[in-house]
Amino acid sequence: MQTVDFEALLANTSRLAIIAIGIVTVIAALEYAQMILAPIFLAIVIGLMFGPLSDRIEQMGIPGWISALGVVATFLTLIAVAGTAFAVPLSGWMDRLPSIWDRLQSELTSWKGVVASIGGIQENLRTAMGQGASMKVDVEDTSAVESVVFFAPAFMAQIILFLASMYFFIATRNDIREAALSLCVNPRLRHSARRIFVDVEARVSRYLLSITAVNIVLGLAVSATLFALGVPSPLLWGMLAGALNYVIYIGPAVMALILTGVGLATSDSTLGILLPPAAYLGLNLLEAQFLTPTVLGRTMTLNPFVVLLSIATWIWLWGPVGGFIAVPSLLIFDVVLRNIMPKLPEDTLQLRV
């Protein structure tokens, strides 16, 4: 008969409890400090993407602070051009939202009976459980002007914090690396830390640049396909498809819903309504199964379930910013894991589809 070592069991349970408390504490801290940490993390990810460009500029003898300033200016120019390209055609579609909503309601008229039946069943269940009394909740009305006045300063502060963090990270990232390496107490640890810094920048930069190229190709393909189908503003939907594709899984789903609304606004037949989202989903399937694996290679692919968990967690914490940094955060974790546990087999550490 085996005896149970209660002391060892208690020690292991205590370690697990400490780990669980630590994870909950980190998650709570990330959510509580979202206003500060989200723009800083986003600036670091974007800075890693543009790091190689800054290095090439510095190799021409240009000081680091000028190189970082040029990279930030280039980024702002790209954002301004994209914003202008989105704003003009999108403003016209915003005026058509009421008609799209009316059309959607008319298409769902046949479901009223089903909805009514479900509502009746729910009411019967509430009555049977003694919860038939209705509950009234009074919500204080807040005007849109008050909301803008409250949130605008915080939003502008986040933008300023993002731009400042991006500039200083790009300008001083080599100094940050050397300062971190100086804290390493032995050559082996210093070598591992140096490899972590180099591999993180290389993998994140390669991933974001590759995904950007893939998204540009996808956007062009979507624009050309929707133009061939006679959908209005095909360039707008192509750009939007490319932008949303940075948030994998969720972005394509949102884009399919948007194109369904476009179909409702532009077609009177069921086939015409479903054709734009179906064409987009077909192109997205080809991109996900063939183009992206070819561009990134096997060593850059990630387990879909792990990616989904990461995206769900980060979006829950930080919204759209979290969705953008979810995959880069997995790449950083993978690099750190490879370098701190080099004795593990390659297949153990590799996250593959």
Residue pLDDT, tens place only, 210-228: 999 999 999 999 999 999 9
pLDDT band per the 50, 70, 90 thresholds, residue 341: confident
User: What is the model's pLDDT at position 257?
Assistant: 92
- Is a pLDDT exceeding 80 seen at residue 130? no
User: What is the model's pLDDT at position 155?
Assistant: 83
Mean pLDDT check: name the lowest of 207-221, 288-302, 304-318: 288-302
Q: Which residue has the tokens 């009234």?
A: 136
- Is a pLDDT exceeding 70 seen at residue 301? no
| All residues at 6 or more sequence positions from 136 whose CB lies less than 8 Å from its CB, including other chains | none
Mean pLDDT check: name the lowest of 135-139, 242-246, 271-275, 277-281: 135-139
What are the extents of the domains in the chain?
Answer: 33-93+155-183, 190-353
Helices (H), the chain: 6-32, 34-59, 64-94, 97-107, 112-128, 144-182, 187-228, 234-244, 250-266, 270-286, 292-296, 304-318, 320-340, 346-349
Distance CA 83, CA 236 (A): 11
Distance CA 51, CA 171 (A): 9
User: What is the model's pLDDT at position 254?
Assistant: 93
pTM assigned to the model:
0.76
